[in-house]
Amino acid sequence: MDRFRTLTPRWKAFGLATLLLFIPMSDLFAPPSGFNYNEANVPDFSLPDPLLDEGGREVDADSWRQDRRAEIQNLFQNHVYGVQPPPPPAKVASELYEDSDNALSGAARRKQIKLYLTGDKSGPSADLLIYLPPASEAPSPVFLGLNFRGNHTIADDPDITLNQNWMRPGDGVVDHRATEASRAIADSRWPVEMIVERGFAVATLYYGDIDPDTDDGFANGIHAFFPELQQRDDNFSSIAAWAWGLSRVMDYLEQDEDIDSERVAVLGHSRLGKTALWAGATDPRFAMVISNNSGCGGAALSRRRFGETVKRINTSFPHWFCRNHRLYNDNEDALPVDQHQLIALIAPRLVYVASAQEDKWADPKGEFLSLREGSPVYRLLGHEAIPADAEWPASGGVIHTEKAGYHLRSGGHDITAEDWGHFLDFAEERL
């Protein structure tokens, strides 16, 4: 290993490429063993009906809006994601510290903003990076998403502030801090030029600015400001914290004249896709919600127990969900909700679920089914999402309807320019 470290980057790349030639494609995407990846072994289950309330009464459009929607949101809060603090009384404070209309060789305008999440300049802050279509006169619709490794990783742009906060280990991270070597490592996930060229802005911030992604007893990040929300079994989890942070960004976007805050699509990949869904469910200001490969605890139905399970996710990441969620380890049928009801909470707003064929760990079929099984609520409210008789499409398949989008990309767990192409096609027509 030490020898490998001393090689030049070019030799490293050559070595890795040669190694990859000898690994079969199927092994590259191989998910953890000991879990079910066979459709025939998915157990029988029945899903809780979003249109029957807790007392077993049928719900109509009025009672959905008045009672049932809140009932389901509370169930998710109590049993899955935990509570969130209320919005701070003083709205988020912000400082635009950089603005250039000549970013990415003139392809975009770039703004960098410090957001004070509790509205208090001595409190916690996050760095928001926004790319806008150049010379746009009208406010732009925007895709807002958290990123995994700092804003400086999303584009080949030396003027992006290098993140200083704690990070999980990985490329270009030394002693849990980003280094210059991590610039642009995630640029394939954020095709900024393509997005702004199609008239959309893109806004992003590092999720660890809100809460470091580690099981640390909720002692830091935004959690440190709300210790009283931890002494309970529906405690303020990390996913709830990241979602709460997205709502604070929305508070800011409502004040930014370059942004059309009625047209904000909140999106996320993987754990950040779970987060985008919960943010969309809890904050109706998001006009569109996009889950990319969000899997267990995101778009995938928990009762299918295909790929990652409730027990596994609560064991590997005890801080992501609230403590009550552990009651459902190996006990999914007892959950009072399943993830199709998370989709239902987004109705009648736009919702998009993207899956990848080889991403078995995330249960791509289960992601589709929860979108379809959440759709009766759209129909109740007079709209179409995914028709009840729609089948899971084959790899490469795309379904776009009035209110819902789904596609199944070939390949593995990732968010790519191809995924973005579909999001843009959908948003261009409907957002």
Least CB distance from residue 316 to ligand GTR, whole Å? 6
The two tokens of residue 294 are: 């969000």
Q: Which of residues 139-178 bind ligand GTR (CB under 6 A)?
A: none
Angstrom distance (rounded) from CA 120 to CA 118: 5
> With respect to ligand GTR, which residue has the nearer C-beta, 98 or 187?
187
Least CB distance from residue 318 to ligand GTR, whole Å? 13
DSSP code for 122 = T
Are 146 and 294 a contacting pair, CB within 8 Å?
Answer: no
Q: Which of 253, 281, 313, 377 binds ligand GTR (CB under 6 A)?
A: 313
Instruction: Look at the block and give the residue holding tokens 């092994």.
Output: 27
Angstrom distance (rounded) from CA 54 to CA 203: 39
Residue 296 binds ligand GTR (CB under 6 A): yes
Residue 211 binds ligand GTR (CB under 6 A): no
Q: Which of 234, 308, 358, 367 binds ligand GTR (CB under 6 A)?
A: 308
Count CA within 13 A, CB hemisphere, residue 251. Answer: 20
Least CB distance from residue 158 to ligand GTR, whole Å? 27
Say whether 270 is catalytic: yes
Least CB distance from residue 378 to ligand GTR, whole Å? 26
Residue 275 backbone phi and psi in degrees, to 5: -65, -40
Q: Which of 212, 295, 366, 374 binds ligand GTR (CB under 6 A)?
A: 295
Least CB distance from residue 274 to ligand GTR, whole Å? 7
Are 294 and 270 a contacting pair, CB within 8 Å?
Answer: yes
Q: Which of 125, 270, 294, 302 is catalytic?
A: 270
The residue range among 158-166, 177-185, 279-287, 308-316 that interacts with ligand GTR, by the rule CB under 6 A, is 308-316
Burial of 88 (0-12, 13-18, 19+ CB in 10 A): middle
Catalogue the long-range contacts made by 178-181 (C-beta closer than 8 Å, 24 or more residues apart).
Answer: 178/149, 178/150, 178/152, 178/153
Residue 288 binds ligand GTR (CB under 6 A): no
Say whether 223 is catalytic: no
Are 168 and 182 a contacting pair, CB within 8 Å?
Answer: no
The two tokens of residue 197 are: 């060229």
Q: Which of residues 238-277 bind ligand GTR (CB under 6 A)?
A: 270-271
Which residues are catalytic, by number? Answer: 270, 413
Applying CB under 6 A, which residues contact ligand GTR?
270-271, 295-296, 308, 313, 316
